[in-house]
Structure 1
């Protein structure tokens, strides 16, 4: 009797409930894969015109941030939402460029397990998850509908299986270059979700540091395979076998077709540009010749594959031993002896713009905060002058931060630090100078303490910090206008600030 009152004597609602269960299952299983790419406005590649970035001939000075962790989080279904949350927050703040890692070499959630080989196991885990979810859906159908309506259950199972098969055929048809479905999908997802939110991505291809594998992992691979010339981490730059490893990886990434958008990475204007390596240093060759040779070879290789995107080295910005600025602008003497040279490394035809970092806490022994602010101003102005007069290229400040581990640290102090940097960028934009954009290190969302270093912040937790970056977005827009991909968020944000 209870059953009759719930579903009706004629059983009309049986197939309705079964169908609804199928729809719910399909959405929960695949809804996040078939993203609705609705890019608000026309997407064009960022180009260079002298010392400026331009989009469709219009100057592009930007306000942005770092979230290095996006691909790693997108690989995990239970953490993927943090990527979307961060991109949506960035868009609401009027930010237009995000820098993140396009690598994870040989570590947890590794994209590349060994040179040219990617993890098949994670792909299988994805299929197991789908099958387990299917069983759960079947049990729900039986419990809700009852065991009488076997035909409805069979319909649901057949429909679900058909959807799964169609998805697998679609994946194969797109000629995936990677075997690791979760990690390949992760970077696809980050790019597609960035496009949805009007954010362009600056993608870094390898780390000089050990985090996420980096050059240390490449050297380890070569050593383990018996082809390495040296166990020194710096052999990453000169070992022919390791150079081949890296080229193979780079080509695989650049020519990959995004499974969510159908666009090859090298043809996708969502990508602002490529960064060769994060913070390169070659301590075993202070002359800088080894690193310079590596930059020349790798930048030429990338330009042969991808003519659409801009390319930078990923430098911290230190002046080398032959530079006249080594003693007047570098933070300390050691900075000219690490195998890099800002001018020499950036002054190649295959390098489109220069990159600089700003970390006075790590670079100087002087604890005085006012001294650090003076250093920041001098450091930035010097590099912008280099971009205008010597390199004749844009200069991007791709990382900047103030450490929370300073004994006298306060959030208000950090905001002063940020403001000095943003004000210099604003003046550069107002005068059409080479200082083209800045990316704060780093933004997080709540529940990410495990990814935080001593520089990370959750921007909306402190309203004055949030407002500082939002207002900078608006004042840049007042100078140059807004691209069509930014209009929705900037119009909403900046109207409130008039």
Structure 2
């Protein structure tokens, strides 16, 4: 009887397996099955000038960030044949103890691989690529900063929105500053935000607004105006769009995406900028970051390109002041965390870690004091096979031993300082940080 019972129990199982094989052979990567289990994560919040994570018992643990940029993740996730590169990047980032990755959640225009090919119309295949990025990040306990539009023309950007309005017969200025002010263009962008935030992940079944693997929404990558007179338009736009996202999603942080330049009204900070040109771009670190629904301030750092004619000593001096002033303003003026969301230098690739070490050390000193310098994200990481996304600041980190070692050390000393909560001691902590 027992053998007969086993046979009868086996038949349904074999039948299901056979159906699965037939479906796979006939439909291949067109099939999508929801993931029923994912690693547990909690949402990141803020407490004054610090990032915090709330656990199930209501206790807060402080969270300081060591992370990186890989803007190309969504594009490489569109086709199943290249998704392994995204998986490898997220796995490698996790193995370096890094916890946050910043990437593009936009691609606008009439290209075959654009996410939004017309206002409010989306390429489902590309959206599924972004689904994969988010699901895979959760798998490796990486949180994502998702940037929602580009200031630059790459991947569409502001210029594409202006072009769409013109093609629709809207009377709009050709200046891309109209992106920040024209009602039709602002409606296009709000419709985009709504589609992203409400998106139900085809892999996990979870809406993006409910996904703790999303660290924050970034309104725009490196906002600049063509005329400094448009600065009030940018500030009004930030206020409106940050409020709009919060009306749809109260669980996630929102940041602007600023480079950190001080504007002409912040005269006492003018000497901190990399040049007089920086104050004429319509953005202002303090005024823009102080807006109510902006949860943390973002800063970029590119001494090699911003002061390209300077020697290493001059670049180091500039970078040291740049970091000090922004951390101080986050702590004393804004009362918000400051995250250095792009740290780029060609020296990353030469195993000269002098400039990167300046930022890492200052973030670490801020963390020891539990102050506003909340972390840094290196620009940018690649894996083998995605060299087409390279620029002068990109690197395959593990091919550069000194830089790799410095990154790992930063991850470890921040993790060791804040071991509670999701600075998880279970993540091979001994192997990662103590070499055992």
Both structures adopt the same fold (TM-score exceeding 0.5): yes
* Corresponding residue to 2:41 among 43, 49, 59: 43
CA separation in 1, counterparts of 2:425 and 2:193? 33
1:265-280 matches, cutoff 5 A: 265-280=208-223
Q: Does 2:254 correspond to 1:316?
A: no
CA RMSD for the aligned pairs? 2.3
1:234 to partner: Cα distance: 1.4
Give the secondary-structure state (helix, strand or coil) at the position aligned to 2:86: helix
Corresponding residue number in structure 1 for 2:310? 367
1:306-332 deviations in whole A, cap 9, x for unaligned? 111000000000001010344321111
Question: Is 1:317–1:342's contact at 8 Å kept on the other side of the alignment?
Answer: yes
Q: Which of the numbers 410, 417, 429 marks the counterpart of 1:491?
A: 429
Q: Residue 487 of structure 1: CA displacement?
A: 3.9
Which structure's CA Rg is the greater one? 1
In structure 2, the residue matched to 1:191 is 134
Provide the C-alpha distance between the structure 1 equivalents of 2:142 and 2:430, rounded to a whole number of angstroms. Answer: 16
In structure 2, what is the equivalent of residue 443 of structure 1?
Answer: 381
Alpha-carbon separation, structure 2, partners of 1:398 and 1:60: 15
Q: 1:28 to 1:380 in 2, by over 3 A?
A: farther
Alignment partner of 2:285 out of 342, 361, 370? 342
> In the alignment, does 2:429 pair up with 1:431?
no
Give the match's secondary structure for 2:115.
coil
Moved more, 433-442 or 395-404: 395-404
The reply to whether residue 458 of structure 1 matches residue 393 of structure 2 is no
CA distance 1:489–1:459, change in 2 (3 Å): farther
Q: 2:114 aligns with which of 97, 110, 113?
A: 110
207, 223, 232: which one aligns with 1:289: 232
Correspondent of 1:474 among 412, 419, 424: 412
Q: In the alignment, which of 337, 341, 351 is matched to residue 412 of structure 1?
A: 351
- Report the Cα distance in structure 2 between the residues aligned to 1:115 and 1:287, rounded to whole angstroms: 24
The equivalent residue for 1:385 is: 328
- Give TM-score scaled by structure 1 length: 0.79
Contact 1:94 1:493 in 2 (8 A): no
Asked if 2 retains the 8 angstrom alpha-carbon contact of 1:64 and 1:95, the reply is yes
Aligned match of 1:208: 151
Deviations 1:157-191 (A, max 9, x none): xxxxxxxxxxxxxxxxxxxxxxx331111111100
Sort the Cα spacing of 1:200 and 1:491 in 2 relative to 1 into closer, same or farther, 3 A.
same
Question: Hey, what's the Cα distance between the residues in 2 that align with 1:35 and 1:419?
Answer: 42
Q: Distance in 2 between matches of 1:490 and 1:398?
A: 26
Structure 1 residues 224, 312: closer, same or farther in 2, change over 3 A?
Answer: same
CA–CA distance in 2 between the matches of 1:33 and 1:325? Answer: 56
**Counterpart of 2:90?**
87
Q: 1:439 to 1:293 in 2, by over 3 A?
A: same
Stretches of 4+ aligned residues off by more than 6 angstroms:
none
Specify the SS of the correspondent of 2:377: strand
- Cα distance between partner residues in 1 of 2:213 and 2:241: 22
* Matched position secondary structure for 1:469: helix
Aligned CA distance change for structure 1 residues 456 and 326 (closer, same or farther; 3 Å):
same
Instruction: Give the superposition deviation at 1:260.
Output: 1.3
- Unpaired runs of 5+ in structure 2? 1-13, 55-59
Matched, 1:234 2:237: no
Question: Equivalences for 1:7-18 in 2 at 5 Å?
Answer: none
Instruction: Give ranges in structure 1 of 5+ residues lacking alignment.
Output: 1-14, 119-179
1:480 Cα deviation (Å)? 0.7
The higher relative CO (CA closer than 8 Å, separation ≥ 6) is in 1
- Residue aligning to 1:148: none
